[in-house]
Structure 1
Amino acid sequence: MRQSNKREPLSRERILRAALGVVDSEGLEAISMRRVGQELGVEAMSLYNHVANKAAILDGLFEIVLAEMPAATKAATWQVALRDNARALRLVLRAHPHTLPLFATRPAVTPASIIHVEAALELLRKAGFSADEALCTLQVMVAFVVGHTVAGYSPTRPEEESRPAYEQLSKQDFPRVHELVAVLARHDIEKEFEFGLEAMLAGLEARLTRRKASRKE
């Protein structure tokens, strides 16, 4: 029986999936219209029927990584919902660490990305935060999740790595830093993330409670 050589037609989603595969294996700097075309077995010019340029691919990568976040379930409180969202974002970023620079430097642009922004703002507004407070909360929370994930999971080349030799420092001049030598050996970066997340949520709750109380006075 003769096998069909019919190629799957190009689409925006197929292009973005191919681009994500390139990024996952080769890094963000490898992305170009030509490289994505090679991955798909087509000329780069064919891509322009579905994506306008490289920037559109980068915006799409932002989108499809967020699309891997599990669907939000109804939470008992805004704190639980925000905590779940932060953890879910961290998980997909850890799954695609080469995309971290996108989340550190680019805003959500496509409707499929902005829908996550809309949902978070709606959650915060219903909780009682003002529009400005909701924006600040979202921005700071995302910055914490992305920044902490960059610090812990951003890929590095072996020749770029540098590890501090704390144990070689003077104990007299750096007594507290010397204490870290033993602590770091058993330090859990995920517990550190949870520590920071809980501290942020506690601070936000306290701020909201104070503002609501001041309104009643």
Structure 2
Amino acid sequence: MPRPSVPLLSRDQIAIAALAQLDESGTLTLPKLASGLNVSVSSIYHHFAGGREEIIERIRGLLTGEWPSPLDEDLDWRDYAEQWAHGYRAAMARHPHVVPLLTLQTVSAPETLASYEALARVLRRAGFADEDLLHAVSVLDCFILGSALDASAPLDVWADSGDPGSALRAAIAVTRTQPGDRSLRSFELGLHALLAGLAELLRVSPPGPRGRRSSC
């Protein structure tokens, strides 16, 4: 029997199926993935020699494609970082089960590395010294991923203690009356504070290795 002219599987087809499995069950196993695609596990390895970890990294690349189209690197660094953070969080919040898996391995998806590289260029041009730049990116990254997980948290994150004098209980009651998405409001508040802190770091830090300094 002649071989089909079009491959039965593609890397993206496998990754999309793996993402669907994660969204549905919170787990990813190759036997279940192969069964869902009606292929053998060896067929999965034919496309992903690195197995599960390589598939997860391809999922990372696919999720990067859900971020906004390439941002204008001529934007003010705070505007750029804010838009970047909102796009990143929105993509990850749609697939919260993926987030813990992504944090366990080195970022190597070309699309994702390109997005981080663009952010790093913007921050460097703004005056962030090399010794601070990676920490700034890491702080943004950790905050965004944490907020993406918070987006899928229960409506009531903290139980009501029943104590009428509790400051937390009073805050919970007020927050319940606020319109909109509680998690998104928390994200925007935190992002504003984070960017203000980075701006202060930029203001007090010495010039970067090439003598650049921000005008802010």
TM-score normalised per structure 1: 0.82
Superposed, 1:68-217 pairs within 5 Å as: 68-74=66-72, 75-154=74-153, 163-166=158-161, 168-169=162-163, 171=165, 174=166, 176-187=167-178, 188-211=182-205
For the Cα contact (< 8 Å) 1:104–1:147, is it kept in 2? no
| Structure 2 spans left out of the alignment, 5+ residues | none
For the Cα contact (< 8 Å) 1:148–1:193, is it kept in 2? yes
For the Cα contact (< 8 Å) 2:31–2:41, is it kept in 1? yes
Residues 50-108 of structure 1, C-alpha deviation per residue, up to 9 Å, x if partnerless?
10211111222222112211212315301100000000011101221221212443331
Taking structure 1 as reference, are residues 110 and 189 closer, same or farther at Cα in structure 2, changes over 3 Å only? closer
Give the % identical residues.
Answer: 25
Name the SS for the 1:196 alignment partner: helix
TM-score normalised per structure 2: 0.82
Name the SS for the 1:71 alignment partner: coil
2:42 pairs with 1:51: no
What one-letter code is carried by the residue in structure 1 that aligns with 2:107? A
Shift of 1:8: 5.5
2:32 pairs with 1:32: no
Taking structure 1 as reference, are residues 181 and 77 closer, same or farther at Cα in structure 2, changes over 3 Å only? closer
Q: Give the paired residue count.
A: 201
Higher RCO (Cα < 8 Å, 6 or more apart)? 2
CA–CA distance in 2 between the matches of 1:23 and 1:180?
Answer: 34
Name the SS for the 2:46 alignment partner: coil
Name the SS for the 1:105 alignment partner: coil
The aligned residue for residue 11 of structure 1 is 10
CA–CA distance in 2 between the matches of 1:142 and 1:121?
Answer: 12
Shift of 1:153: 1.4
Higher helix share: 1
CA–CA distance in 2 between the matches of 1:43 and 1:130?
Answer: 50
CA–CA distance in 2 between the matches of 1:104 and 1:42?
Answer: 29
CA–CA distance in 2 between the matches of 1:162 and 1:184?
Answer: 11
For the Cα contact (< 8 Å) 1:94–1:153, is it kept in 2? yes
What one-letter code is carried by the residue in structure 1 that aligns with 2:118? A
